[in-house]
Amino acid sequence: MANLIAWIIRAVVFGTVVLYGSIGETITEKAGHLNLGTPGIMCIGGAFGFVGAYAYENSVSDPNAALCILIALSLGFISAMIAGLIYAFLTVSLLVNQNVVGLTMTIFGVGIGKFFGSYVIPEGAVSTKASFANSVFSAKLPFLSDLGFIGQTVFSYGFMMYLALIIAISVHIFMQKTRTGLNLRAIGENPATADAAGINVTKYKYLAIAIGSGITGLGGVYYILDYNSATWATAAGNAIESLAWLSVALVIFVRWNTAKAIWGSYLFGLCYWAYAFIPSILGISVNTDIAEILPYIVTIIVLIVGNIRSRKGHQGPAYLGMSYYREER
């Protein structure tokens, strides 16, 4: 039982990082832009969020929790958004190939993140910790989290896990129920149609990419300040990158539905951590490296099954990955 609870908690925390990236990527893809720069953008968000929190608590003698949250989240969000805007400028305005820009963004973002994150590591050390930020970001609900199985698996997380749920559900309602959501989906399905209908395609694309990137950046903040106990190690950038790729896969896995991404991300988490808990629960031994590829294998299987029973309306946006220029002949 204790093992199972620990497994679920690990899975949910892991899934939350993936969920943030997946929500951000979904918003971007609904505008018709495949952003393979997600890992880089998440890394930038994580690094700047951490550096902000670290600098704040080291510069004042009596750090304030609300201010710490505000600084970390806004720095993470805004820095990721700026990275997203660079991607948007290149792909929306200059019509550069989205895959090339995205992959470059990943390389660039991981590099930038590692550089600035590692800047605050004291000389000679390999990692540094923002202890106050950690206590704020991983604070649990005082009473509920003690209440047995439910209390431990549902109420024992830092506030950002619940924030992710709120964002995921709000984004889903926004996409399905609102007029603005309809317009955004139309752009991803057929930008020329949306344009001819009087929708400002460029504005929507920029906003979707910027906001999507910002949310992705929050995933990085969550990874460092909660999941990784507010510790920045020199290798943190690569760890974020490997998780962020999963969030790109999750978008396809749940068919561009951010509400479904919630359980999808937790399933990915369960798969990812299976190697650590399955042996003790079932009493068998599993190769760690093979076990860690489980989420990817699940994605591939789902893709194959999904394509065999493909139904219209459940595919990705029709113009995903294609540039749009009104006066093109």
Partner 1 sequence: MGQKEAIQMKNITKRFGSTIANHNVDFEVREGEILSLLGENGSGKTTLMNMLSGIYYPDEGEIFVKGQKVLIRSPHDAFELGIGMIHQHFKLVDVFTAAENVVLGLKHKKTRKEINDSIETICKKYGFDINPNQKVYDMSVAQKQTLEIIKVLYRGADFLILDEPTAVLTPQETDKLFAVLNNMRKDGKSMIIITHKLHEVLSISDRVTILRRGEFIGTVPTTEATEQSLTEMMVGKKVELNIERPEPENSKERLIIEHLSYINEEGVKVLDDINFTAKSGEILGIAGISGCGQKELLESIAGLLHPEHGSSITYINPDKEDHISLLHMNPRRIRQMGVSMSFVPEDRLGMGLVGSMGMIGNMLLQNYAESNSFLKMKKQAKIKAVKVKDKLDVVTPGINTPVRKLSGGNVQKVLVGRELGSNPTVLMTAYAVRGLDIHTSHTIYHLLNKQKKKGTAVIFVGEDLDVLMALSDRIMVMCGGRMNGILDARTTTKEEVGLRMTKIQEDGGADHE
Q: Which residues bind partner 1 (CB under 8 A)?
A: 179, 182-183, 185-186, 189-190, 192-200, 312-313, 318, 326-327, 329
| Shortest distance, position 257 Cβ to partner 1, whole Å | 13
| Shortest distance, position 308 Cβ to partner 1, whole Å | 12
For residues 126 and 197, which CB has a smaller minimum distance to partner 1 in the complex?
A: 197
| Shortest distance, position 246 Cβ to partner 1, whole Å | 27
* Residues comprising the chain, all counted: 329
For residues 75 and 199, which CB has a smaller minimum distance to partner 1 in the complex?
A: 199
- Measured CA to CA, the distance from residue 225 to residue 69 in angstroms comes to 10
- Measured CA to CA, the distance from residue 82 to residue 226 in angstroms comes to 23
For residues 3 and 193, which CB has a smaller minimum distance to partner 1 in the complex?
A: 193
Per-residue CA distances from 91 to 85, 249, 293 (Å): 10, 21, 31
For residues 87 and 324, which CB has a smaller minimum distance to partner 1 in the complex?
A: 324
- Measured CA to CA, the distance from residue 39 to residue 106 in angstroms comes to 5
Residue 146 per-residue DSSP state: G
DSSP H stretches of helix in the chain: 2-30, 38-59, 65-88, 98-119, 131-137, 148-154, 159-177, 179-189, 191-196, 201-222, 236-253, 258-282, 288-292, 294-308
For residues 64 and 183, which CB has a smaller minimum distance to partner 1 in the complex?
A: 183
| Shortest distance, position 265 Cβ to partner 1, whole Å | 25
For residues 64 and 202, which CB has a smaller minimum distance to partner 1 in the complex?
A: 202
Q: To the nearest 10°, report the CA torsion of 23, 72, 222, 264.
A: -10
- Measured CA to CA, the distance from residue 194 to residue 159 in angstroms comes to 38
Closest-CA residue to 233 (of 112, 113, 111, 118): 118
| Shortest distance, position 172 Cβ to partner 1, whole Å | 16
For residues 123 and 312, which CB has a smaller minimum distance to partner 1 in the complex?
A: 312
| Shortest distance, position 229 Cβ to partner 1, whole Å | 44
For residue 71, what are its two tokens? 């600084």
| Shortest distance, position 197 Cβ to partner 1, whole Å | 4
For the chain, what is the radius of gyration of the CA atoms? 20
